[in-house]
Amino acid sequence: MSEKLMVTGATGKLGRSVVNLLLGEFGIAPADLVAGTRDPGKLSDLSTRGVTVRAVDFDKPETLPAAFAGIDRLLIVSTDAIGVRLAGQQAAVKAAKAAGVKGLVYTSAPNPHGDNHPLSFAGDHAGTETAIFDSGLPYRILRNNWYQENLAMSLPAVLKSGTWYTSEEPGTKVAYVAHEDCARAAAAALIRPWKDDRAIYEITGAEALTIEELAALASEKLAKPINVVHLSPEALASGLKAANLPPPVIEMLLSLDATNSAGLLAKTSGAVEELTGRKPSPIASYLEANRAALTA
């Protein structure tokens, strides 16, 4: 008998990508797949294809055991409710165990544990990972590095001004990873044979670059010069405030730079290729494929 697989957050970008890969590239039968979402009406196309769609709301923990009933393997996609998602994600882990789920996959962040962690939302992931560890269930935790696609939030303005301001320490390296590689790794982690796993995968790109190296690559691929300027966190915060960014956004951006400076994203791993059989997509490919959008 086939195992029943479930993906939460299936209306989100990552969750939907995983569902599409499972049905397409990985050949999972629609009858063996359950898509979880707070808004089932948004997944009517999947229902039409034979995928079971269930209401899954981590903020309604009393509903979760029923939502997870009959599921063998569960992918918990971390929600986008940064700072307030921990309780819901912990409830999801507890409900998964109560429902008899046999294995968990979770999309986490680069090593989120430790006191005084530089990442502002590390606690969301550390707490969820700890709940998974304590559950006694087999698990595969995917610690995703920053997406290459995140550069779309900063590069257009950088290209227009010609200057890239950062509070990263000089020499800091980051191994950006493609969103599609993260989705494919999650799909693969969900369906690979399990042996009572207790596994953590560092999901990274194949190359780690300093911001100067990244700026040079972007200049080459996008034909626009970029000058990198390192500032203190206080000076960068002042500039971001002058640009009318909200305080929570400023705090998060500074914490990302601090996390980079701490070296938490500096190492590359072979996890993407190990899980998927494919090498990670290089950042140059992202820049080339999105040149029009980045330079608009």
Q: Note the pLDDT tens digit of each residue in 61-105.
A: 999 999 999 999 999 999 988 889 999 999 999 999 999 999 999
Residue 3 is encoded by which pair of tokens?
């195992």
Query: Residue range 219-228: average pLDDT?
Result: 97
Residue 1 has pLDDT above 80, yes or no: no
The fraction of the chain above a pLDDT of 70, given in percent, is 100
Q: Is the pTM of this model over 0.85?
A: yes
Residue 186, Cα to own-chain centre: how many angstroms?
10
**Cα–Cα dist 279/276, whole Å:** 8
Query: Residue range 166-195: average pLDDT?
Result: 96
Residue 250 has pLDDT above 90, yes or no: yes
Q: Are 121 and 89 in contact (CB under 8 A)?
A: no
Q: Are 89 and 131 in contact (CB under 8 A)?
A: yes
3-state SS record for the chain: CCCCEEECCCCCHHHHHHHHHHHCCCCCCHHHEEEEECCHHHHHHHHHCCCEEEECCCCCHHHHHHHCCCCCEEEECCCCCCCCCHHHHHHHHHHHHHHCCCEEEEEECCCCCCCCCCCCCHHHHHHHHHHHHHHCCCEEEEEECCEHHHHHHCHHHHHHHCEEEECCCCCCEECCECHHHHHHHHHHHHHCCCCCCEEEEEECCCCCEEHHHHHHHHHHHHCCCCEEEECCHHHHHHHHHHCCCCHHHHHHHHHHHHHHHCCCCCCCCCHHHHHHCCCCCCHHHHHHHCHHHHCC
Give the CA distances from residue 196 to residues 77, 104, 137, 190, in Å, rounded to whole numbers and listed in that order. Answer: 21, 11, 8, 13
Q: What confidence category does residue 118 fall into, taking pLDDT thresholds of 50, 70 and 90?
A: very high
> What pLDDT does 194 receive?
87
CA quadruple 49, 272, 138, 53: dihedral, nearest 10: -20
The fraction of the chain above a pLDDT of 90, given in percent, is 97
Count Cβ atoms below 10 Å from residue 188 Cβ, excluding itself: 24
> What pLDDT does 195 receive?
83
Average pLDDT value over all residues in the chain: 96
Phi, psi of 84 (to 5 degrees): -130, 15
Residue 270 is encoded by which pair of tokens?
């072979």
Residue 10 has pLDDT above 90, yes or no: yes
- Domain 5-137 belongs in CATH node 1.20.210.10: no
Q: CB within 8 A of 172, min separation 6: which ones?
A: 210, 211, 260, 261, 263, 266
**Cα–Cα dist 249/183, whole Å:** 26
